[in-house]
Structure 1
């Protein structure tokens, strides 16, 4: 599934860099759109589409990583990186789900709510789902960014630990 080589070099590092950029960007956009409807109006359908791109890239990157793992020297750092990488997909699904939820909540016109005792309850009934969506967005965004950091850090350590000298020759 997906590319394993791009221009003769392993696809995993190239795809991983795309994930490292797009996950925090999608997470930031998700929180901004959930917090400020005016931001979402500018983004429109781009918010869930960006999260969809992340969701497609994660398994492609994981697959390319599994292919590469079979072709490099085994190490405990590499095993840690591979295990952490497997845990990114649920966060990518969460980013997409939260993005779609935020997008739908803000584009759906509110249903008129009858007044009770002279008080308009429309604002209250429209507001609590948005607060819930904001809370979920912050949790999913933070989890996704932390996970991508952990994966990237473990990958960098597996490649670079002991592979260079701290002093110039």
Structure 2
């Protein structure tokens, strides 16, 4: 249940920039849910060993879930970090001490000084691209969770539903 919650949180971060202040908890949730996917997979394999393999492709889809959770976790972290860096105020590292001119640093009163000459930071365009990629990863993870759950339900309840229709 954590992976859909992390995906929903990622979608919220991607769509509503003001909510990105909650980015670290969402990224931690995505990381935790990714770490728990192998635990769920092993649990399912242990259950299959006791009650038999599920019908259909539930086990195959469940085994693929990690490859949907990993990109989600990585992209939400990248989005959070890039957004924080883009929002941080520009800090010019200036030194008026001896040798500053030799190091290529200019004092604010020197000719040619530019206050905006801070080190390059990721721009809003990069944050937007990461938000789109994170949203796509979240949608893909949600789709895969749905597919895993639906195939599991069919493997358990498929015969019951077919018997009731007859």
TM-score by length of 1: 0.71
Length, aligned pairs only: 138
Distance across 2 between alignment mates of 1:63 and 1:129: 38
CA-based RMSD of the aligned residues comes to: 2.7
Q: Which residue of 2 aligns with 1:25?
A: 5
Larger radius of gyration: 2
Q: Which residue of 1 aligns with 2:151?
A: 154
- How far has the Cα of 1:24 moved from its partner? 2.3
Q: 1:44 to 1:144 in 2, by over 3 A?
A: closer
Q: Which residue of 1 aligns with 2:68?
A: 91
Moved over 6 A (4+): none
Kindly indicate whether the alpha-carbon contact (under 8 Å) linking 1:34 and 1:130 is maintained by their aligned counterparts in 2: no
Q: 1:27 to 1:155 in 2, by over 3 A?
A: same
Distance across 1 between alignment mates of 2:53 and 2:45: 12
1:49-128 matched pairs, under 5 angstroms: 49-74=28-53, 76-77=55-56, 80-108=57-85, 109=88, 126-128=123-125
User: Is 1:40 matched with 2:20?
Assistant: yes
- How far has the Cα of 1:34 moved from its partner? 2.4
- How far has the Cα of 1:44 moved from its partner? 4.0
Q: Tell me the alpha carbon deviations over residues 46-89 of structure 1, each in whole angstroms, 9 at most, x when there is no partner.
A: 01111012112211100000111112234542xx1000011100
What SS does structure 2 have at the residue aligned with 1:138? helix
Distance across 1 between alignment mates of 2:70 and 2:89: 27
Structure 2 residues not aligned, in runs of 5+? 93-115
- How far has the Cα of 1:110 moved from its partner? 6.0
Q: 1:82 to 1:110 in 2, by over 3 A?
A: farther
TM-score by length of 2: 0.72
